[in-house]
Amino acid sequence: MENKKFNFKENTAQALLDSRLRKNLKFAMGAMIQKRRAVFSNAQELEKLRVLGNSIRRRALSKLPELLEKLENKCTENGIIVHWAETTNQACEIVLEIMQKHKADKLVKGKSMVSEEMHLNKFLEQHGIEAIETDLGEFIIQLAGETPSHIIVPAIHKNKDEISKLFHEKIPGTPYTEEVEELNAIARKTLRKMFYEGHVGLSGVNMAAAETGTLCLVENEGNGRMCTTVPPVHIAVMGLEKVVEKLEDIPPLIRLLTGSATGQLITTYVNMITSPRKAGEKDGPKEIHLVILDNGRSKILADPQLRQTLQCIRCGTCLNHCPVYTRIGGHAYGFVYPGPIGKILTPQMEGLEKAGAMTTASSLCNACEEVCPVKIPIPELIRRLRNESYDLNGTVQGHGYKKHFMETAAWKAWELVNRIPALNAASTKMAGLFGHMLPKAGPLKEWTHTRTKPVFAQKSLHETVKEQGVAHE
Amino acid sequence: MNKNRPEKVYFFGTCLIDMSYPEAGMAGIRLIQREGVKVIFPPDQSCCGQPAYNSGFPEEAKAVARKQIEIFNKDYPIVVPSGSCAGMMKHHYPKLFENDPDIKRVRAFSSRIYELTEFLVHVLKIKLADKGEPVTAAWHSSCHAAREMKVIEDSKSLIRQLKNVRLKELENEHQCCGFGGTFSIKHPDISSAMVKDKIEDIKNTGASIVLSGDCGCLMNITGAMDYHKISIKGQHIAQFIWERINGE
Ligand code: SF4
């Protein structure tokens, strides 16, 4: 999806024209917000839990190198083979090598955003390996040839009718049906076979405990468990920030994650993976690999303020509550991670030059911060990234995303007007006198697309208070 | 929050009220004066700095903020008829000056900030007698009044004191109306989609007037309603209250 012609404004304009998308999103988001609210109905309890979640994540990040080392040691002790990848390409190569070593040409995949970040499916396809998505949502969008539009519900942009049509057209011998049960059964039947045919299974990791070398995976469909137990080889991919210190750190995070993501107290399946199949055990893979990916994360970690981005547990609730995301959907963002978390994560991973425009698409309404289970101050980080996008002379400072000389000059002028009382009085006076004659040009042109021009008062408050004799000191 | 009734307060008018809604500012001042408190309006005041702060120009924002801090230099409470500007001055000034030698002074300044309805309810404990005709009013919560200043219940409790006013809450009360300062100019399409939904919700209440404590939102909502020829009025809560209790 790294579209070379990426133009955020064009994308959003197009998404907004898609009334079906708007309808699908509005419906789905409404339901998800309701469910979350129901499970977190006790505000005090939720707040306590969020404080705890925040402190667990902050503690982990504060000693991340140490914890990662410990995780590696523990995993190795347990018989899990650990690999490190600095770039997404290295991570892909590692997966490929494992596949080739086992002469495997089919990979069954559980849902994993990191593998999306790696663009793994495309990479494997180029090397003659078929990657099969087994999460229902991922399966749907794979059939459609699309990418996920939400980090938890990848096919949220599609409604039942669209899925019915897709199954009918893309799965050979499938009659058209709109029955949800039947659709589920079709997917299940199609996928079941794959688990046995797939030589290697791949999954993400929701969190990993350094203390014990345990990989934790939550899911509802059971396909994740199939991917991690049926094939003889299991590869887990994780971003390096996913580690926590202790096993006991995991339950509160699961509670926050599932409550925020799907409004559940707990998911149907919680997988805790500590080692490959041991002697005498009847199931489980014979070999487990853990690929730990950096992809810019250690740089983010180095900045104490931006580091908070890495607290994220990928629950997706900030997307559901974001008024911008709900209007344009995930694809308009043009990158793997959409919505509020995408707005702060993507520009840091991909650079402001490439993805900085995403930071402008926020009204800073604070809804994301209000719901984030681990208390990431997303609006504050958006502001920080906006600051970094310019320098004082209006020239690009290496990583600035746009050279906006005019904008910089305009803000300088704004500062003078608002710092020097005489200038302020004069400009307010001008607005009152001539505001109605302002041409619908520049910013006003955009504003007046769907709104009438702002009205400027004939007499400012400054003038009125003077006339009315309000005291001044 | 210091809940003692002061003798004098400062009033910060906000740049938007200054330019476009002076009546709302005057109504706020009158409501305080009516309670026997002297209102000081420092004539050199301008803008809280939020537009630049949110747009990626913290230095410019800081220069303007510093000016306000200098102007409002006595120990009086500072009353702000906007949740958004109050949020900026109360919560963001200390961040803006985090590593500045003036930080102590800034914190003291920020601790004196009150949103207008918060001040009327908690400090002045104002009692309102309604002289107006029966009316149904919708309420729009601004994001920062709700999430930074947390004063929505204060604003609504004032409206509920007016016995002839039927207060209607919007279905998606806490969703942004799409103003967001320069956001509405940088992404007019998304902003329009947001305000359109907001207007739908307002229409669904059957109200003839929509009230808010923030003029930015009002400008956005009423501008869009005018454009679509929807005849629902928009008013700042202070002006609405002032008119009702005076039978205007
Ligand atoms: S930023 Fe917070 S709300 Fe958004 S996905 Fe991450 S943890 Fe969830």
Q: Which of A114-123, A264-273, A414-423, B7-16 has the lowest mean pLDDT?
A: A414-423
- How many angstroms is it from A161 CA to the middle of ligand 1? 30
DSSP state of A435: G
- How many angstroms is it from A459 CA to the middle of ligand 1? 46
Both structure tokens of A230:
């049926």
State whether A415 and B52 contact (CB < 8 Å): yes
Flag whether pLDDT at A424 surpasses 70: yes
The predicted model gives A327-353 an average pLDDT of: 94
Nearest to A462 among B20, B43, B224 (CB): B43
Angle at the Cα of B198 from the Cα atoms of B197 and B200, rounded to 5 degrees:
65
Q: Which residue of A has its CA nearest to B41?
A: A472
Cα–Cα distance for residue pair A317/A372, rounded to 1 Å: 7
- Cβ-Cβ contacts under 8 Å, A388 against chain B: 56
Length of chain B counted residue by residue:
248
Cα–Cα distance for residue pair B156/B153, rounded to 1 Å: 5
Q: Could you give the C-alpha distances from B204 to A327, A450, B172, B200, B225, in angstroms and in order? A: 20, 20, 11, 6, 14
Mutation test residue for ligand 1: of A372, A380, A381, the one with most atoms within 8 Å of CB:
A372
Reference A316, options A36, A51, A120; nearest CA is A36
Q: What is the pLDDT of residue A304?
A: 93
Cα–Cα distance for residue pair A98/A290, rounded to 1 Å: 11
Both structure tokens of A107:
């990979």
Residue A141 Cβ inside 6 Å of ligand 1? The answer reads no
Which atom belonging to ligand 1 lies closest to the Cα atom of A151?
A: 5
Residue A316 Cβ inside 6 Å of ligand 1? The answer reads yes
Nearest to B20 among A418, A455, A468 (CB): A455
Q: Could you give the C-alpha distances from A349 to A63, A87, A301, in angstroms and in order? A: 21, 11, 12
Q: Which residue of B has its CA nearest to A468?
A: B26
Cα–Cα distance for residue pair B123/B105, rounded to 1 Å: 23
Q: What pLDDT digit, counting tens, does each position of B160-207 carry?
A: 999 999 999 999 999 999 999 889 888 989 999 999 999 999 999 999
Collect all residues with Cβ–Cβ distance below 8 Å to A150 and sequence separation of at least 6. A156, A157, A316, A319, A330, A338, A339
Cα–Cα distance for residue pair B21/A106, rounded to 1 Å: 66
- Cβ-Cβ contacts under 8 Å, A408 against chain B: 57
Complex confidence, ipTM: 0.94
Q: Which residue of A has its CA nearest to B65?
A: A419
- Cβ-Cβ contacts under 8 Å, A389 against chain B: 56
Flag whether pLDDT at A9 surpasses 90: no
Q: What is the pLDDT of residue A251?
A: 97
Cα separation of the two ends of chain A: 60
Angle at the Cα of A466 from the Cα atoms of A465 and A471, rounded to 5 degrees:
75
Angle at the Cα of A116 from the Cα atoms of A114 and A121, rounded to 5 degrees:
120
Cα–Cα distance for residue pair A233/A191, rounded to 1 Å: 18
Amino acid identity at B62 = K
Angle at the Cα of A112 from the Cα atoms of A111 and A115, rounded to 5 degrees:
130
Burial class for B173, CB neighbours closer than 10 Å (0-12, 13-18, 19+): middle
Q: Which of A212-216, A315-319, B3-7 has the lowest mean pLDDT?
A: B3-7
Q: Are A470 and B39 in contact (CB under 8 A)?
A: yes
Residue A315 Cβ inside 6 Å of ligand 1? The answer reads yes
Cα–Cα distance for residue pair A131/A124, rounded to 1 Å: 7
Residue A253 Cβ inside 6 Å of ligand 1? The answer reads no
β-pair type (B113-115, B165-169)? unpaired
Q: What pLDDT digit, counting tens, does each position of A163-209 carry?
A: 999 999 999 889 899 898 898 899 888 888 888 888 899 999 999 99
Is the Cα torsion angle A371, B218, B140, B45 positive or negative in sign? positive
Cα–Cα distance for residue pair B191/A183, rounded to 1 Å: 37
Higher pLDDT, A94 or A17: A94
- Cβ-Cβ contacts under 8 Å, B185 against chain A: 443, 446-447
Residue A381 Cβ inside 6 Å of ligand 1? The answer reads no
Residue A29 Cβ inside 6 Å of ligand 1? The answer reads no
Flag whether pLDDT at A387 surpasses 70: yes
- Global pTM exceeds 0.95: no
Collect all residues with Cβ–Cβ distance below 8 Å to A332 and sequence separation of at least 6. A8, A11, A12, A14, A15, A338
Give percent above pLDDT 70 in chain B: 100
Buried b (16+ CB within 10 A) or exposed e, A245-284: beeebbebbbbbbbbbbbbbeebeebbebbbbbeeeeeeb
Across B131-232, the runs of DSSP E, i.e. the strands, are: 135-140, 165-169, 209-212
Reference A332, options A17, A115, A33, A113; nearest CA is A17
